[in-house]
């Protein structure tokens, strides 16, 4: 049976549920105006309600916490017949001991600029769910209790005497995500700002420690480890164009026996929702099409190495619902494989959103092809991007690794 809480009414979580290990934190709201974009974030906090490092901010650009103790659910599950708008899985026993609180927040993207605030949303709530049984344990309904606020600290999980409890907060203020980050000790701008602190007092005394705010760059997101995943931000209407740029060190060596440098070709495997599969690459002159299936196109092929901006793939975001998955890859068409000299980097760009970078900083000079990133359709609305950086001897081996099932023949440019 669900316990419905009022603002400030703290509730026990693990003491009365001793077998509880993993919970799902779900949030929901109703948006009469379709142009309102709501973002979900969580902050891992020390005993003085501050982050300890950049990665303590969990959001779409950094979707998992330390030891994989918490992560953003890309594929939302329905619990108790309710579909949340955002979900975060939390393994309570795996949260490192230096963290005493996890604050959950909602922000309106560009709220001040668009003159939007939480008074325009209805039925905002947060709930705690037992991920094993699927039972809703706790719920806090905020209703329609805000006016000009563009950011809300909705609630928090916190440790008390070795047990986890939940505190429904419902405190809002202006300034969006940047203001939230400032209050929790995350510096995301170069300018010093005065941000009102809206954090409840802890239930026990804590010894003060020096404030050491960390810096986080929200203008660029780097996928550093194999399997790292980030979602492109959902936008109102269509997503617009997604640009995939491959760039590398194109300098030629000096001297009589100099090599001509590394020349990389960019391409992709695609699979559409209707089952059609194929390839977009310069080899075989399969340049794709942006306006018709597969809605993916290669700008061209730089065979001279003179285009210093590298090569570009473009994905038509207006047709994202028709695309199932895409594997971005690079390969060396001729010459010696020298990935270690290329310093390759793929940057995925979406207008108005942070660049997403995947560096080819792991090398296998014995193989000529590198799978760089997997793009997957998420709920027909946006795209998840997963770092791969895995090397293969050629197209057929890459095809088998990702179960594409195409028939390959020798080709040339």
Helix and strand totals (H; E) in the chain = 4, 29
DSSP 334: S
Q: Which of 183, 5, 171, 13 lies closest to 90, judged by CA?
A: 13
CA 363 vs. chain centroid, Å, equals: 25
Which CATH fold would you assign to the domain 222-401? Lipoxygenase-1 (2.60.60)
311 pairs with which residues across the strands?
A: 246
- Structure tokens, 259: 């090599």
User: Tokens 């795996």 correspond to what residue?
Assistant: 94
Longest dimension (CA), the chain: 79
Among 67-81, 109-123, 190-204, 345-359, the minimum mean pLDDT is found in 190-204
Helix (H, G, I), strand (E, B) or coil at 308: coil
Q: Residue 207 — very low, low, confident or very high, per pLDDT cuts 50/70/90?
A: very low
222-227 long-range Cβ contacts below 8 angstroms, 24+ apart: 222/356, 222/357, 222/358, 222/359, 223/356, 223/357, 223/358, 223/373, 223/385, 223/386, 223/387, 224/359, 224/387, 225/387, 226/387, 226/388, 226/389, 226/390, 227/386, 227/387
Where along the chain do its domains lie?
3-218, 222-401
- Structure tokens, 25: 């934190």
pLDDT digits (tens, 9 = 90+) for 161-174: 999 999 998 887 76
- Alpha carbons 364 and 184: distance in angstroms, whole number: 42
Residue 88, pLDDT > 50, answer: yes
Confidence at residue 203, expressed as pLDDT on a 0 to 100 scale = 39
pLDDT digits (tens, 9 = 90+) for 101-148: 999 999 888 888 888 888 888 889 999 999 999 999 999 998 777 777
Confidence at residue 208, expressed as pLDDT on a 0 to 100 scale = 33
49-55 long-range Cβ contacts below 8 angstroms, 24+ apart: 49/101, 49/103, 49/184, 49/199, 49/202, 50/184, 50/185, 50/211, 50/212, 50/213, 51/184, 51/185, 51/186, 51/213, 51/214, 52/98, 52/99, 52/212, 52/214, 53/214, 54/186, 54/214, 54/215, 54/216
Confidence at residue 269, expressed as pLDDT on a 0 to 100 scale = 96
Confidence at residue 301, expressed as pLDDT on a 0 to 100 scale = 52
pLDDT digits (tens, 9 = 90+) for 222-252: 888 888 777 776 555 567 889 999 988 765 5
- Alpha carbons 413 and 10: distance in angstroms, whole number: 67
- The mean predicted confidence, pLDDT, of the chain is 81
pLDDT digits (tens, 9 = 90+) for 384-411: 888 999 999 999 999 999 999 998 876 5
- Alpha carbons 352 and 360: distance in angstroms, whole number: 25
CATH code, 3-218: 2.60.60.30
Domains 3-218 and 222-401 share a fold: yes
């Amino acid at each position: 049976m669900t316990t419905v809480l009022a603002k400030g009414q703290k509730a026990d979580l693990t003491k009365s549920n001793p077998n509880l290990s993993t919970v799902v934190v779900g949030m929901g709201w109703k948006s009469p105006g379709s142009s309102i974009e709501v973002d979900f974030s969580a902050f891992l906090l020390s005993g003085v309600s501050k982050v300890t490092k950049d990665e303590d901010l969990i959001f779409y650009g950094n979707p998992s916490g330390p030891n994989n103790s918490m992560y953003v659910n890309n594929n939302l599950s329905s619990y108790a017949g309710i579909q949340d708008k955002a979900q975060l899985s939390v393994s309570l026993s795996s949260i490192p001991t230096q963290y005493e609180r996890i604050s959950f927040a909602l922000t309106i993207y560009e709220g001040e600029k668009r003159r939007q605030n939480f008074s325009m949303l209805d039925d905002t709530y947060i709930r705690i769910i037992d991920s094993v049984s699927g039972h809703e344990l706790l719920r806090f309904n905020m209703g329609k209790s805000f006016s000009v606020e563009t950011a809300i600290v909705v609630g928090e999980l916190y440790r008390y005497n070795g047990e986890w409890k939940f505190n429904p907060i419902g405190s809002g203020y202006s300034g969006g995500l940047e203001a939230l980050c400032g209050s929790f000790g995350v510096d995301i701008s170069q300018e010093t700002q005065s941000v009102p602190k809206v954090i409840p007092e802890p239930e026990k005394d804590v010894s003060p420690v020096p404030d050491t705010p960390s810096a986080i760059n929200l203008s660029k997101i780097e996928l550093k480890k194999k399997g790292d995943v980030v979602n492109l931000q959902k936008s109102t209407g269509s997503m617009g164009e997604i640009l995939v740029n491959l760039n590398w060190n194109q300098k030629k060596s000096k001297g009589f026996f100099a090599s001509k440098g590394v020349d990389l070709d960019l391409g992709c495997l695609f699979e559409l929702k209707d089952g059609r599969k194929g390839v977009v690459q310069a080899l075989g002159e399969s340049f794709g099409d942006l306006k018709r299936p597969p809605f993916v196109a290669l700008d061209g092929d730089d065979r001279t190495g003179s285009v210093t901006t590298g090569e570009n793939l473009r994905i038509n975001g207006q047709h994202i619902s028709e695309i199932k998955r895409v594997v971005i890859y690079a390969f060396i068409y001729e010459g010696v494989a020298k990935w270690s000299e290329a310093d390759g980097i793929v940057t995925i760009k979406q207008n108005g959103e942070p660049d997403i970078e995947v560096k080819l900083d792991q090398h296998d000079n014995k193989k000529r092809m590198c799978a760089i990133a997997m793009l997957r359709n998420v709920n027909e609305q946006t795209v998840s991007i997963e770092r791969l950086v895995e090397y293969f001897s050629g197209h057929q081996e890459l095809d088998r690794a990702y179960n594409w099932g195409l028939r390959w023949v020798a080709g040339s440019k």
